[in-house]
Structure 1
Amino acid sequence: MEIGDLGLLAEKHLLIVEGGNLIADAVRLALERAGVIIVGPASSVEIGLALLEIARIDGAIMDIRIEAETVFSLVERLQDARIPFVFAISHADADVATSYGGYRLSESPAALAEIARALFGPPEDAG
């Protein structure tokens, strides 16, 4: 983990949307140590949408699926608001729609430096 990349998270308000143990206590503590203000966790898309309306949100880390519901309606709202997000999952999910560009799949939610770069780092060259 590169310390400099974790600085990208300092004082950011991150919405956590998860249905279970996506962000374990140790990861949550590491995010807080990096200076993150955690919003949530939201245990449903409905709660995530409500938090988006009432709280400052600089970025989001989400499960793709919460129980039987996917988070794509929340993703659309995040995209409309130009709020960066990542899906933190432990396995590939075939239901990820290709129309949702701008996200990265992280094989480990503990990959904080990768998540920091994906959310707040400079855009990668398209070429």
Structure 2
Amino acid sequence: MIPTSRYSPLFAGKRILVVEDEFLLANEARTMLVKLGATVVGPTPRVDRALTIIETEQVDAAILDICLDGALVFPVAERLADLAIPFVFASAFDPSIIPERFSGYVLCEKPVELEKIAHGLFGPPMTNA
């Protein structure tokens, strides 16, 4: 059994889109999310496929790698934002690569920390207090 914390149980019953081009990381995220009661949509390593999934399947939230085999994930983030679907970025990239429009979204460094992702998707806004 994997340990849960304050926000991890919030994945239960949610359909989470995983957009990741590294198979082992995508599979690990899928395995952990399923253990927390989520249904994983995808994972997919491609922007075009992610956009199709968003339009054709129920997605409650998404975890987005920033760079997908050389393509940037920002069209996916744009569509999710338009539909008010929460998402986080999970990447090893420097945060300065993220366009200003997405500056309020959570960036989780790889390897991903599901507790931080859960907080970013479903928890109250973080404060510096």
Could you say what the CA RMSD is over the residues aligned between the two structures, in angstroms? Answer: 2.1
Gaps of 5+ in 2: none
- Of 89-98 and 21-30, deviating more is 21-30
- Is the 1:22–1:109 Cα contact (8 Å) retained in structure 2? no
Letter in 1 for 2:25: I
Give, in angstroms, the shift of residue 2 of structure 1.
4.8
1:79 counterpart = 2:65: no
**Alignment partner of 1:108: what SS?**
coil
- 2:32 is equivalent to residue 25 of structure 1: no
- Report deviation, 1:126: 9.2
Look up the SS of the partner of 1:86 in the other structure. strand
Deviates more, 1:88-97 or 1:27-36: 88-97
> What count of residue pairs does the alignment treat as equivalent?
127
CA–CA distance in 1 between the matches of 2:111 and 2:92?
8
* Equivalent residue, structure 1, for 2:94: 92
Is the Cα–Cα contact under 8 Å of residues 22 and 89 in structure 1 kept in the other structure? Answer: no
Equivalent of 1:106 in 91, 105, 108: 108
Greater fraction of residues in helix: 2
Q: Does 1:11 align with 2:13?
A: yes
Q: Which has the higher contact order (CA 8 A, sep 6+)?
A: 1
* Structure 1, gaps ≥5 residues long: none
SS at match of 2:6: helix
Q: Write out per-residue CA displacement over residues 15-62 of structure 1, whole angstroms, 9 at most, x where no aligned residue.
A: 011111473534322211101100001121100000001111010001
CA–CA distance in 2 between the matches of 1:109 and 1:103? 18
Structure 2 Cα separation of the partners of residues 121 and 75 of structure 1: 19
Question: 1:93 Cα deviation (Å)?
Answer: 4.7
